Amino acid sequence: MAHSTTLQPNAASAAYADAPRTGTWDGGNEPFKASYGKLMMWFFLLSDAFTFGAFLTAYGLIRHKHGVYEGTAKAFHFSSAYWPTPDKVFNAFPGLHGLDLPLAFVALMTMILIFSSVTMVLAVEAGHRMDKADVQKWLLWTILFGTMFLSSQAWEWTHFINGHEEGTLMADGTVMHGANLAANQYGPPLFADLFFFITGFHGTHVFSGVCLLVWCFIATTNGTFEKRGHYEMIEKIGLYWHFVDLVWVFVFTFFYLV
């Protein structure tokens, strides 16, 4: 990174006009002291951050455009006139039918994903020590937690779509339970639309992450990385996995807390 790129050979070096350039970004170097693959993963994650940033920004704009509930917490009821309070919508827990446990299940999902991030870092750390057995162990735990998160999200969607026991009286006089893309019992139509869109995009990322982790596990077992001499692939997939966790942290804040 010390020498600059020469764009035009000067008169003195005319004899070397065809010589290859040797600047930092001219190939054969590691700019930012990171390998090609790692740097490209960082740049990809930055672009994905723009994508999710755009989604959450759109959510923020739309949400604040809608009316706000202005009564007491006790008197709250669903209506398409205002955006619902999240802890009134997301208060179910699998297996505990009828109990009012606001945000409890989504808190569990957050912990599952953070835990999967921990096991992922542990896998990367094991890779640094060329410890194949530990890499396999931690990769399996990460895959398990990732799958648990996906299953939890599937349950959450099912419950959201099927709705609460008590339906909501809609403008056309019917009582609606649950949600679809056109209308939902909790609030304005865009509430459900944005829920499906943003958590759906995130869930797809988690799913692709799990697929990549499964492939990593297979490659580790086959000795691909031992032969290569380094486990950098685990590190790169780890970056993707942490990004997925990070997006969830933001989605969780914007959708369920704010």
Binding site for another protein (CB under 8 A): 32-34, 39, 42, 46, 49-50, 53, 56-58, 60-67, 85, 87, 102-103, 107, 110-111, 114-115, 117-118, 120-122, 125-126, 128-131, 134, 238-239, 242-243, 245-246, 249-250, 253, 257-258
Closest to another protein by CB, 31 vs 94, is: 31
Residue with tokens 């969780």: 252
What is the closest distance, in whole angstroms, from the C-beta atom of residue 42 to another protein in the complex? 6
d(CA 124, CA 35): 16
Phi, psi of 136, deg, nearest 5: -60, -45
Closest to another protein by CB, 65 vs 228, is: 65
Closest to another protein by CB, 111 vs 175, is: 111
d(CA 141, CA 91): 28
d(CA 189, CA 84): 11
What is the closest distance, in whole angstroms, from the C-beta atom of residue 64 to another protein in the complex? 3
Q: CA separation (Å) from 32 to 25, 35, 43, 230?
A: 10, 8, 12, 19
What is the closest distance, in whole angstroms, from the C-beta atom of residue 109 to another protein in the complex? 11
Closest to another protein by CB, 176 vs 210, is: 210
What is the closest distance, in whole angstroms, from the C-beta atom of residue 67 to another protein in the complex? 7
The per-residue DSSP string of 66-119 comes to: SB---S-STT----TTBPPPHHHHS---TT-TT---TTHHHHHHHHHHHHHHHH
Closest to another protein by CB, 178 vs 238, is: 238
What is the closest distance, in whole angstroms, from the C-beta atom of residue 38 to another protein in the complex? 9
